[in-house]
A and B are shown apart, each in its own frame.
Chain A
Amino acid sequence: MVKEHVLSHKELHEEAADDRVMFGFWIYLMTDLLIFSVLFATYSVLHTRTLGGAPGSALFSRPLALTETLILLTSSFTCGIGMIMARQRKQAQTLVWFGLTFILGLAFLSLELREFSAFIHEGHTLQTNAFLSSFFVLVGTHGLHITSGLLWMGITLGYIVKRGLNAPLVRKLAMLSLFWHFLDIVWIFIFTIVYMGAYT
C-alpha cells in the first residue's frame, strides 16, 4: 500500500519534471535564437564591407550550399522518424534512424569545413574584412552547434546501447531532436540570407 503510493507519487513528480524540462529547453532555444539574431544583424550590417575584396557572390558556390541544405533537411527528416521510433520504444529502429542522422550531420559538417578551408587557402580569412569576419562567425557558430549536436547524439546513442531505451533517454532524444530541427531552421535562414542573398 505504502509502496504503491510512493511509486505513483514519484511518477507524478517525474512527469511534471519532464514537462518542466521541455519547457525550459524551449526557453533555452529561444535564447540561442537571440544569439543567432545578433549574428544575423551584424552580418546584414557588415556584408557589403569587403574593402575591395571578393564579395559573397564571387566566393560562394551555390551547388555546395544547396547540397548542404538538402543534407541537413534530410537529416531533420531522419531525426523525426527516429523520434517516432523512440516514442514507441523501438530501440533498434531508433538507433538506425538517429545513426543516419548522425552520418548526415557529419557529412554536412565536413562539407562546411571544406568550404572554410578552401576560403582560407585562397586568402579569404576571418581577418580580411568585416564581411568575412561576420560570415565566418555566423556560419561557424552554426557549425559549432551542429558539432555539439553530434556529440550529444553520439553519447545518447551510446547510452541507449548501454542502458536500453528508458524514459530519461527518450526525454533526452526529444530535446535533441528539437535542437536539431532548430538548427535546421537557422540553417534555412543562413542559406537564404547569406548564400542566396549574396546574388541579389
Chain B
Amino acid sequence: MSKHVGKGHIFLHRLKFGISAFIVLELIIFVVVLLSGKNFAVLNPKGFIASAQSNVILLSAAILFTIAIPTLVILYFVAWKYRETNTHAEYDPQENHGKMFDFGIWAIPSFFMLLMAFVMIPATHRLDPRQQISSYNKPLTIQVIAMRWKWVFLYPDQNIATVNFVQIPTDTPVEFELSADESPMSSFWIPNLGGQLYAMTGHVNTLHLLADKPGDYAGSTAELTGAGFSGMKFVARASSQDNFDSWVNEAKNSPSALTSEEYAHLLKPSEHNAATLYAKTDPELFSTMLAKYAGSHDHGMHE
C-alpha cells in the first residue's frame, strides 16, 4: 500500500490549484457579464407577475442553499480530514450509526422539502396564469395566435391586430388568450413581464400579465416550433395609457386590414416577419379559427 502514500498530498495540491482556477475563471465570466450591464430578464422584473415569480425563485434558492451549502462544506471537509495520509484522524471501519442517524438523515431533507412545499403550494395557486390580477384599471384582452413562425395579436375591443409586436398600457392587467393555428406547440414568453404558457391548436390558454414600467421587452416562443423557431420573436412594448391610446389610433388609421385573405396569407409558413399593424379585423376571426379544431380537443386540460 506504500505506493498510495503521498497521493493525498498531490491530490490536495492539485485540487486546490484546480479549484482556484475555476473560481478565477468563473469570476472573470461573472465580471464580464455584470459589467456589460445586460438584462438578467428573469431576475430583473418589469411586471407584477415577473416580480412575484422572481421572488419565488430567490426564496426557493435561499431555502435550498441553506441545506446544500453546509452539506457540501461538511462533505469536502470530511473528505479532506479523513484522507489516508492524515493518520491522526480517527479510523473506525466497523462504525455503528445509531437509529438517531437514520432518523436525522431522513428528517433533515424532509423538513426542508416540506418548507419548500409550504412556499410552493400557495405560490402555485396565487400565480396560476389564469388567475386574474386585481387592479383599478379595466383588464385589456389580447388574443394571441401562434403561427409558423410568427405571433399574431388580435385586440378584440380595439378592433386592431398586429404581427410580432404587442403594445400594452402599464399598470393595466392584460389577459392574453393563447392559441395556435396550423402550428406546433409554441410557448408564449416575455421574461421581463412573467412566465410562459403554451399556445396550442384548438385550445385557449389564458395568461394574465401586468407591466409596471414602460419599456420594450423581448418576447419569443420558448418551445421549439421548427425551422423558423429562432426568428419567432416579438417586441412587447409597455407604455402609458395615453401613449397606448394614441398608438391604437395610429393602428386604426393603418392602410392594411386583417381580412380573411390576409389571414390565409399569414398562415403560410414564413420566417423573420417584420412587425405589422392592421386596422380592422374580423371580430369572429378568433372563434372561426378555433372552430376549425372543434371536436379535436374536447378533453382539454384547461377544463
Contacts and interface: CB of A to CB of B under 8 A. Distances in A.
Contact of B299 (A45, A50, A51, A52): A45
A42 B126 CA distance: 33
Contacts of A49: 295-296, 298
- Tier of interface size on chain B: under 10
Contacts of B295: 49-52
Interface in B48-62: none
A48 interface: yes
A138 B257 CA distance: 48
Contacts of B296: 49, 51, 130
B291 to A, nearest CB: 13
A45 B296 CA distance: 11
Interface string B278-298: 000000000000000001101
Nearest to A52: B295
Interface residues of A, number: 7
Nearest to B294: A51
Nearest to A45: B299
A45 B300 CA distance: 10
Nearest to A49: B295
A50 B294 CA distance: 11
Contacts of B298: 48-49
Nearest to A44: B299
B293 to A, nearest CB: 10
Interface string A36-58: 00000000010011111000000
Contacts of A130: 296
A130 B299 CA distance: 13
Interface centre among B295, B296, B298, B299 (most CB of A within 10 A): B295
Contacts of A45: 299
A51 B293 CA distance: 10
Contacts of A48: 298-299
Interface in B23-52: none
Contacts of B299: 45, 48
Nearest to A53: B295
Nearest to B297: A49
Interface in B128-171: none
A182 B299 CA distance: 31
B72 to A, nearest CB: 39
Interface in A96-132: 130
Interface in A17-52: 45, 48-52
A128 to B, nearest CB: 12
Interface string B199-242: 00000000000000000000000000000000000000000000
A191 to B, nearest CB: 24
A48 B298 CA distance: 8
Contacts of A52: 295
A51 B298 CA distance: 11
Interface in A124-182: 130
Nearest to A129: B295
A196 B143 CA distance: 42
A52 B295 CA distance: 8
A47 to B, nearest CB: 10
A51 B292 CA distance: 11
Nearest to B296: A49
A26 B277 CA distance: 64
Interface of A: 45, 48-52, 130
11 contacts: A45-B299, A48-B298, A48-B299, A49-B295, A49-B296, A49-B298, A50-B295, A51-B295, A51-B296, A52-B295, A130-B296
Given A49-B295, A51-B296, 4 more contacts: A45-B299, A48-B299, A49-B296, A52-B295
